[in-house]
Structure 1
């Protein structure tokens, strides 16, 4: 079968020199780097156009088009715009580009005008290729442990952030991070993760801050409404962001409304919420505050030891400081008396080491030490 060369421009004349590049190789490189992209394939054409059915290109997250879908600038601009939208929402789409969009419009196809002088018709299938998402679970609480177990049934890579976690206690394939520093966590996970913060107050703010820094598509917080406000303010201070911006990124209470109460039930409700956001909806009714806040009573009673899990400072310097510590110290945040030899929470500030009853107090102090050093009670000894 011969081509209608008298009805269309020569492909070789219109193609840029690098149009025959190895698109498969580009896809391989992007996949290896964990970068999302969109594959654009010509599925129908009417001359005169310089592309053929089966020609394809790749559009990166930055909007770079690699490959060949024809030389018309308007077609390429439309393809890139729709490809970026597909990367964002994860949904494939079929688009038609014609001088009169009404001539190709039909159910399931989005029609756009062909404004270039070639006046040909192209139909393109745009397919997003997003890397397997990461579900980052912050905490070692009963809810966090249930999440790590149940998430194995979803198509996600599970990462647990727990400073006192043991890889042997985690399900197969789950990655453990023990550094709770927000920048360290954000740097250790991929693009747009799904983040659930369920630390029972140990390092909630650090988990939320890490999710914001990682541009997470979902940051779910397991906390009461009152504590959530405090967590957001502390997280914003930790990463020097506007509290309103951080609040807008956080879903609280995490989970959908299924009257969850036990750790496993709460985990199921949170995973349903995660799926909803992953599919681009995020409009399922929120869990009832009392149900999710139950993690701070019923869930903690279920496993008091895990409720005490915290960030801890296990560095050699912290151990040396603890060895030289006084017999008693006052937590500058809450005023409680603390035994430095037993607490796992300390913060060095201006040459002094301060000791805390829990990770939440340590986080608050680390974010804004000046706010807690205005009274005599704030002394480290």
Structure 2
């Protein structure tokens, strides 16, 4: 576990918030002796599994770590019950996730894990009534909004592109192709152009877009609700953005946006690496602080130093592997 005694958890959380770094706050709400944790103990966990604070012994930490990582990815809070193997504590399990840890020495814990994910950003380009109405509608829905004036220098630039969920081009003329290209090159997964069907198609046909890029551009943007006024058009635009989020067109992972079919998958999209402790069988999230040893068969990761020492002794012929 990573900790920093010089800073309080509130200071660490404030730093994460300022940097738009997603995290989960884990709070012990019930503890049964002889566990070392007490009600009210807290820890913060980042998407890569780094932990700050204290919520119990090493085996409890690993259960909290991987549950928190999943909670951040899902964006949903979790009540985690950490029980020793064979224990009959806290039997009521409705609505809770139960983790049974073979290496837990005793006692049971209930820990509430709440993800804190930065608000996604909607990037709006334009200063006409429809653009301003989209700004108002997006804010009403709880998005953070960045509006750019296309006539200003750098008006097409997408600030904090990793956090931008959608870029809406509502300039009604001007360099719309340049604004679309800037959004695509910044990796924005949903790009919407406010235009008629005929004009929008003509603009895209002249841009020589690849098939994946063309799939990310929506024009005329908005769900057809017969909208006529700027507020109605803004409602239809944001309805399509929300539908893309809720129905899988935009994947939001760790507080950043990415196209659901984006090429940049890799480890970040799948989450941090997980390995199985060869002694106790617990799944551990691999971080720089995870207990590890390497032998002729390669690297191995463990929930605690006790399991590692058992593995080393077993490899030397002193102990049998846990069954």
**TM-score, normalised to structure 1's length?**
0.52
1:82 partnered with 2:75? no
1:58 counterpart = 2:35: no
Alignment correspondent of 1:91: 76
Does the CA contact (< 8 Å) of 1:58 and 1:65 recur in 2?
A: yes
Counterpart for residue 34 of structure 2:
48
Aligned equivalent of 2:247: 282
Would you say the 8 A contact 1:69–1:76 is kept in 2?
yes
Shift of 1:244: 4.5
Answering whether residue 166 of structure 2 is matched by residue 195 of structure 1, we say: yes
Gaps of 5+ in 2: 250-323
- Give the superposition deviation at 1:267: 0.5
Q: Which moved more, 1:16-25 or 1:151-160?
A: 16-25
| 2:154 aligned to which of 148, 162, 179 | 179
- Kept in 1: contact 2:24–2:72 (CA 8 A): yes
CA distance 1:230–1:59, change in 2 (3 Å): farther
Alignment of 1:335-354 (within 5 A): none
Q: Deviations over 1:149-201 (max 9, x none)?
A: 44443433321122226xxxxxxxxxxxx4145xx42xx23652232323446
Match of 1:270 among 229, 233, 237: 237
RMSD: 3.8
**8 Å contact 1:208–1:235 — kept in the other structure?**
no
* Helix, strand or coil at the partner of 1:125: strand
Choose which of 218, 224, 227 in structure 2 pairs with 1:260.
227
Provide the rounded CA distance (Å) in 2 between the counterparts of 1:66 and 1:161. Answer: 38
Match of 1:6 in 2: none
- Provide closer, same or farther for how the CA distance between residues 250 and 112 of structure 1 changes in structure 2, counting only shifts above 3 A: farther
Secondary structure of the corresponding residue to residue 266 of structure 1? helix
Distance 1:229 1:121 in 2: 64
Alignment check: 8 A CA contact 1:38 1:127 kept: yes
Picking from 127, 143, 147, the partner of 1:156 is 143
Structure that is richer in helix per residue:
1
- The answer as to 2:126 corresponding to 1:126 is no
Residues 138, 161 of structure 1: 8 Å contact kept? yes
Asked if the contact 2:193–2:200 (Cα under 8 Å) also holds between the matched residues in 1, the reply is no
Aligned residue number for residue 101 of structure 2: 114
3-state SS in 2 of match to 1:118: coil
CA distance in 2, matches of 1:18, 1:215: 35
Q: 1:276 to 1:82 in 2, by over 3 A?
A: farther
The residue matched to 2:40 in structure 1 has which SS?
A: coil
Q: How many residues align?
A: 245
Tell me how far 1:41 sits from its aligned partner. Answer: 0.9
Cα distance, 1:67 vs structure 2: 1.0
1:244-282 C-alpha deviation (Å, 9 max, x unpaired): 5435555565434533244321211222344455xx523
Residues 18-77 of structure 1, C-alpha deviations (whole Å, 9 max, x = no match): 57852111112112223222111111223332221111111123331111112224x333
Separation of aligned partners in 2, 1:62 and 1:203: 40
Gaps of 5+ in 1: 1-14, 166-177, 237-242, 285-381
Structure ranking higher on relative contact order (CA contacts 8 Å, 6+ apart):
2
Indicate conservation of the 8 Å contact 2:23/2:47, yes or no: yes
* TM-score (structure 2 length as normaliser): 0.60
